[in-house]
Amino acid sequence: MKTRGALLWEPGTNSGWTVEEIEVDPPKRREITVELAASGVCHSDQHLDDGVIPLPWSPVLGGHEGAGVVTEVGDEIHDLEVGDHVVLSFLPSCGRCRMCVSGRSNMCDLGNGVLGGTAPDGTHRVHARGKGVGCMSYLGTFAPYATVPVDAAVKIPQDIPLDKAALIGCGVPTGWGSSVYAADMQLGDTVVVVGIGGVGINAVQGAVHKGARNIIAIDPVGFKQEQAQEFGATHAVGSYEDAAPIVEQLTNGQGADRVIITVGVATGDVLQPAQEMTRRGGVMVLTSAAPVMQRDMEFDLFTFAMSGKRLQGSLYGTTNSRNDIPLMAELYRNGDLKLDELITRRYSLDDINQAFADMQAGANLRGLIVY
Ligand SMILES: NC(=O)c1ccc[n+]([C@@H]2O[C@H](COP(=O)([O-])OP(=O)(O)OC[C@H]3O[C@@H](n4cnc5c(N)ncnc54)[C@H](O)[C@@H]3O)[C@@H](O)[C@H]2O)c1
Ligand SMILES: [Zn+2]
Ligand SMILES: [Zn+2]
């Protein structure tokens, strides 16, 4: 079908998105087509444009945080039908590989190919100007229709508003799960969240859920500090330097139990101040994307080993999409998870470059493209 989508023709060059006509193919075996209600604007798509995540192919249809209604199903699909409401998971889960069956579906074998530039079978579902288009995370939610692997779609109840549900595709589980699962947070913990964007604000929500006693949010933007407190942070400051005396005072000088890093880009200087703020035996969680080729970083390895600290990477918040996406939808329905308040601004697809500019300026918790 002909529709419009936001493409990068020269990824990694900061040239911005062009919104133009695209052709979206019908579903093949084990695929579905979804009419999207909305797509969140996540920093990981920005990384395709600025080169933090380099792509050796083009063009790319961006967007990996969406939800919508199934309009067509391909062969061999028994668990979804036309009319079902789904959240799209930016990492597919086959349900059969070793990682899936051992409760680590964020690391499903299928996920290895999400930045490969084609559908899992090596062909394209989207075309523009006569060329095959790769889709971010097999999804490409910067278009009102997407043909995606059924393994990347998770059914949710029909009464959950789809525009809000879109955020459960990436930012909400990634942030919430970074606290709840990756950090293995405990009741009464003192927690620092560094970077209050669409991901970090949900790490604050996760810390609230786990019963953290003190939640210190760090973000240089005043609006983010205010929002963090609305979402349950007990303290909000602009820098590691400003947070240090607060953490010291709250913990009798021991340091924070958990420090979760959700800044826009994980530069090499982001970990050492986090380590200095972490107590002996405490956990640092790194959720942010770093420039893929970055190898150098500042990190005191002696103290790291001799104080028994842990550094934990966090992919998709270590969530299992088939369990956690419906869980989050239900938490929202029960009033235990904020989604409405995450959406600072709504945009039309044509204003996508403005949405990214606003994200870069720190103006949004999450921007949402609405179809
Ligand atoms: N691990 C995963 O599975 C996963 C999933 C989604 C996103 N991400 C990554 O998470 C990161 C955050 O994404 P987002 O969409 O929330 O971005 P965002 O732009 O919405 O938020 C980033 C926030 O970090 C703040 N910030 C920047 N530098 C800072 C610093 N030195 N100290 C404190 N705060 C600082 C910014 O002001 C902004 O509020 C990105 O790198 C993104 O690619 C990772
Ligand atoms: Zn994302
Ligand atoms: Zn799998």
Structure confidence by residue, pLDDT tens digits, 154-181: 999 999 999 999 999 999 999 999 999 9
Ligand 1 neighbour 174 (Cβ under 6 A): yes
Q: Please give the pLDDT value at position 127.
A: 98
Place of tokens 């579903």: 27
Percent of the chain with pLDDT over 90: 100
Instruction: Report the nearest-CA residue for atom 13 of ligand 1.
Output: 43
Tell me, using a 6 A CB cutoff, whether residue 224 lines ligand 1.
yes
Q: Is the distance from the beta carbon of residue 200 to the nearest atom of ligand 1 less than 6 Å? A: yes
Regarding the beta carbon of 218 and ligand 1, being less than 6 Å apart is answered yes
Question: For the chain, what are the domain ranges?
Answer: 2-169+338-370, 176-314
**Chain center to CA of 247:** 27
DSSP 39-100: EEE-HHHHHHHHSSS--SS--EE----EEEEEEEE-SS--S--TT-EEEEPSS---SSSHHH
Q: Which of 64, 136, 172, 287 to mutate to test the pocket of ligand 1 (most atoms within 8 A of CB)?
A: 287
User: What are residue 36's phi and psi, to 5 degrees?
Assistant: -80, 145
pLDDT given at position 292: 95
Choosing from 262, 277, 298, 369 the residue with most ligand 1 atoms within 8 A of its CB, the one to mutate for a pocket test is 262
Cβ atoms within 10 Å, residue 81: 11
Task: Give the closest residue to 43 by CA, choosing from 135, 124, 136, 110.
Answer: 136
CA of 10 to the centre of ligand 2 (A): 20
| Dist. CA 311–CA 308, nearest whole Å | 10
CA atoms within 13 A of residue 244's CA, in its CB half-sphere: 9
Helix or strand holding residue 343 (H, E)? strand 343-347
DSSP 158-176: TTS-HHHHGGGGTHHHHHH
Phi, psi of 55 (to 5 degrees): -115, 130
Average pLDDT of the residues in 132-157: 98
Q: Is the peptide bond before 149 cis (omega within 30 degrees of 0)?
A: no
Q: Which residue's CA is the closest to the ligand 1 atom numbered 31?
A: 263
Query: Residue 213: which pLDDT band, with cuts at 50, 70 and 90?
Result: very high
Q: What pLDDT is stored for residue 129 in this prediction?
A: 98
- Taking the CA of residue 266 as reference, the ligand 1 atom at the shortest distance is 41
Does the Cβ of 273 fall within 6 Å of ligand 1?
no
Q: Among 219, 237, 277, 297, which is best to mutate for testing ligand 1, by the most ligand atoms less than 8 A from CB?
A: 219
Does ligand 1 lie within 6 Å of residue 169's CB atom? no
Q: What is the pLDDT of residues 192-210, one digit of tens each?
A: 999 999 999 999 999 999 9
Q: How many Cβ atoms sit within 10 Å of the Cβ of residue 309?
A: 19
Per-residue model confidence (pLDDT) at position 104: 97
| pLDDT category of residue 42 using cuts at 50, 70 and 90 | very high
Centre of ligand 3 from the C-alpha of residue 226, in Å: 40
Tens of pLDDT, residue by residue over 319-339, are 999 999 999 999 999 999 999
pLDDT for position 341: 98
Q: How far is the CA of 112 from the centre of ligand 3 (A)?
A: 10
CB 51 within 8 A of CB 15: no
pLDDT at res. 306: 98
pLDDT at position 146 is 98
Question: What is the Cα 236 distance to its own chain's centre?
Answer: 22
| Best CA proximity match to 183, nearest among 259, 110, 114 | 259
Task: State residue 334's pLDDT score.
Answer: 97
How confident is the model at residue 364, as a pLDDT? 98
- 8 A C-beta contact, residue 361 and residue 354: no
Largest CA distance in the chain: 64
CATH superfamily of 176-314: NAD(P)-binding Rossmann-like Domain (3.40.50.720)
List Cα–Cα distances, 369 to 62, 126, 136, 349, 352, in angstroms. 12, 20, 16, 6, 7
Amino acid letter at 93? S
Instruction: List, for residues 238-264, the tens digit of each pLDDT value.
Output: 999 999 999 999 999 999 999 999 999
Q: Which CATH superfamily is domain 2-169+338-370 in?
A: Medium-chain alcohol dehydrogenases, catalytic domain (3.90.180.10)
Q: Which ligand is nearest to the CA of 97?
A: 3
Ligand 1 pocket check for 49: Cβ under 6 Å: no
Ligand 2 geometric centre to CA of 7 (Å): 17
Please name the residue whose Cα sits nearest to atom 20 of ligand 1.
Answer: 197
